[in-house]
Amino acid sequence: MPLAALLRIGGFADSEWATAPTVQAENVALVGLRSVDDSERAVLVVSDLSVFTMSEIDNCGLTSVVEDALTVVTELAASALGKQVL
């Protein structure tokens, strides 16, 4: 719920206090999701959030998933800010 508030998702869409302009959904990675209810899944599917489940960790390995997640939150964020990742 705190992330939904920061991203103004769902019931927080019209809340003026729920804003974090520097947090963009496309630069957020959720790692290790286990159980997601239907309403949460619907939001995740249409969002720009990157989601990495426990099944992906089991299949691909933690290192691979973490590398992918770090790419999302560093390279894409830097690109949005017009900076280069070293």
Q: What is the 3-state secondary structure (H, E, C) of 8-53?
A: CCHHHCCCCCCCCCCCCHHHCEEEEECCCCHHHHHHHHHCCCEEEE
Which tens digits make up the pLDDT trace of 30-68? Answer: 999 998 889 888 888 988 899 999 999 999 999 999 999
Determine the average pLDDT of the residues in 2-18: 77
pLDDT at 80: 60
Residues 6+ apart with CB under 8 A from 70: 29
- In the numeric block, which tokens belong to residue 82? 């017009």
So what's the pLDDT on residue 79? 66
Query: Residue 65 burial (CB < 10 Å; 0-12/13-18/19+)?
Result: buried
Q: What is the mean pLDDT of residues 72-86?
A: 66
